[in-house]
Amino acid sequence: MALAPEQMELLEQFEHFYQAQDREQLISLLDELQISDIADLLSEEADYAFTAFDLMPIHRAASVFKILEQQVQEDVIKELPPQKVAELLNELPADDRTSFLEELPSNTVKELIKLLDPDERRKTLALLGYKEDSVGRLMTPDYIAVYENWSVQNVLDYIRNFGMDSETIDVIYVIDEQGKFVDDVRIREFILRKPDTLVSELIDGRFITLNVDDDQSVANDVFKMNNRVALPVVDNNNVLLGIVTIDDVLWVTNEEYTEDIQKIGGTEAFDEPYLDIAISKLVRKRAGWLVLLFIGEMFTATAMQFFQGEIEKVVVLSLFIPLIMSSGGNSGSQASTLIIQAMALGEVTLSDWWRVMRRELISGMLLGLILGLIGFIRISVWQNLHFYDYGEHWVMLALAISSSVTGIVLWGSLMGSMMPIILKRFKLDPAASSAPFVATMVDVTGVLIYFSMAYLFLKGTLL
């Protein structure tokens, strides 16, 4: 991680005080720094983790820990003694603690859970019980819940007594005697109303809930479309189980975006920074896709072998194979990337498949005609300026090339746009329809289209 000049200066100050074993100056420096600055420093120098976490108040240490990258968090835990680890894990919000633990090996998780207080252990085990990537893993059970028959004064007193244990008090949640969710009310409503006003008078029914089994992407979409800082999480019986805050959703969104970018590039998702990942793991993550793509390209060689006779008769056809294949692969990669992004943003759904196909039919045809025209002009210019002699039937050759480019670009656009939708239909990750994957598929079919067009235009002349 590259540090800004001011952060480098802070790191040098920390190193100086560390070497001098000046605890007072270190404590003063840590108190003055922003949480994000401390996180950046520890990401750069994990060796200072023990000293930094030992000198910081536990609530501040927990705030720093929860915004560190997973790998840095693991390094920090390894550096700290068990007693400090126990304090840190118990201080972490339940959702952040769960997010950290779920990435660790099961044996390590078991050992760390033993360090938790009974109440925190119960919360953590409950959250870990929900399926991976569900809202249940993301929610926190620390929130303020009140009853309809309470007065505003009752609510404010309750907040003063128990608000410190809540993830946020911006929104207060109303439940009935069975614990079922009734409504959520912003705290400003309680502050501005008279003390004897009943909670039932503040209920307006304008709420949005998440189901505990919803995918985390659902939470991301709901937050994106609504101006909320937190949302209640309920089960199938409408019992309030916890809340999801926007900071947790933003963190998940960033992780999913990173994974999608890596998949679009034709690799498995990395779970740690690029410069920190071991070479062996880096090779393993990339090898699978490359082997699959290599095998796919073998079909291209098979297709070309089928047209070996045509290539031997008209050697000039082989000159344009790279041009033809790259045009189809490029158009397919473009379309695939655009649709994956549109689906991630919620702009395209499965029901829009026909609209997407119709648009790609039109745009793919227009793009193909543009590139095909350029190909025709290129052959004409080279022939007439005597840069290369394509023979007496060069016009038919030019038509074959331009028609092939048009057809392959159109096919690539359709393939690239439909593949993410098809994968989504079968509940697979659309990002898996990566640019290299689509390009490889288009290469195979592109050879068939190219030589079929060549045979159609050159039959009776060169063939």
Give the tens place of pLDDT for each residue, 38-89. 888 887 777 787 888 888 888 898 888 988 888 888 888 888 888 888 899 9
If one compares 76 and 428, the residue with the highest pLDDT of the two is: 76
If one compares 463 and 385, the residue with the highest pLDDT of the two is: 385
**Could you tell me which of 438, 429, 430, 423 has the C-alpha nearest to residue 296?**
438
Same structural domain, 75 and 168? no
Using alpha carbons, list the distances in angstroms from residue 167 to 69, 128, 185.
21, 18, 16
**Spatial contact of 373 and 434, defined as CB atoms under 8 Å apart:** no
The pLDDT of residue 118: 80
SS3 of 72-121: the string is HHHHHHHHCCHHHHHHHHHHCCHHHHHHHHCCCCHHHHHHHHCCCCHHHH
Give yes or no for residue 463 having a pLDDT over 80.
no
Give yes or no for residue 263 having a pLDDT over 60.
no
If one compares 257 and 113, the residue with the highest pLDDT of the two is: 113
Same structural domain, 108 and 158? no
What is the DSSP code (8-state) at residue 394? H
The pLDDT of residue 336: 84
The CATH number given to whatever domain includes residue 70 is 1.25.60.10
Same structural domain, 175 and 206? yes
Same structural domain, 33 and 118? yes
| Arithmetic mean of pLDDT, 196-204 | 92
Report the percent of the chain where pLDDT is more than 90: 23
The CATH number given to whatever domain includes residue 312 is 1.10.357.20
Domain assignment of residue 260, yes or no: no
**Spatial contact of 358 and 413, defined as CB atoms under 8 Å apart:** no
Same structural domain, 289 and 407? yes
| Arithmetic mean of pLDDT, 209-229 | 86
Same structural domain, 104 and 184? no
Q: Report the distance separating Cα 367 and Cα 187, nearest Å.
A: 55
Give yes or no for residue 312 having a pLDDT over 60.
yes
Q: Which residues form the domain of 18?
A: 5-129
**Could you tell me which of 203, 209, 206 has the C-alpha nearest to residue 243?**
209
Same structural domain, 217 and 295? no
| Arithmetic mean of pLDDT, 324-335 | 84
Lowest mean pLDDT, pick from 29-38, 104-113, 266-275: 266-275
Last residue of a domain, one of 62, 94, 129: 129
* Those residues with Cβ within 8 angstroms of residue 47's Cβ, 6 or more apart along the chain or in another chain: 79
Same structural domain, 328 and 453? yes
Same structural domain, 398 and 316? yes
| Arithmetic mean of pLDDT, 126-150 | 86
* Those residues with Cβ within 8 angstroms of residue 51's Cβ, 6 or more apart along the chain or in another chain: 18, 26
Lowest mean pLDDT, pick from 246-250, 252-256, 387-391, 397-401: 252-256
The pLDDT of residue 287: 64
Give yes or no for residue 265 having a pLDDT over 60.
no
Using alpha carbons, list the distances in angstroms from residue 288 to 264, 272, 285.
14, 18, 7
Domain assignment of residue 371, yes or no: yes
If one compares 113 and 232, the residue with the highest pLDDT of the two is: 232
**Could you tell me which of 75, 16, 76, 82 has the C-alpha nearest to residue 52?**
76
Q: What is the mean pLDDT of the chain?
A: 82
The pLDDT of residue 281: 67
Burial class (CB in 10 A: 0-12, 13-18, 19+), 443: buried
Report the percent of the chain where pLDDT is more than 70: 85
pLDDT digits (tens, 9 = 90+) for 354-410: 999 999 999 999 999 999 999 999 999 999 998 888 888 889 989 999 999 999 999
The CATH number given to whatever domain includes residue 218 is 3.10.580.10
Give the number of domains in the chain. Answer: 3
Buried residues in 100-129 as b, exposed as e (16+ CB within 10 A) = bbeebeeeebeebbebbeeebeebbebbbe
At residue 337 the predicted structure's pLDDT band, cuts being 50, 70 and 90, is confident
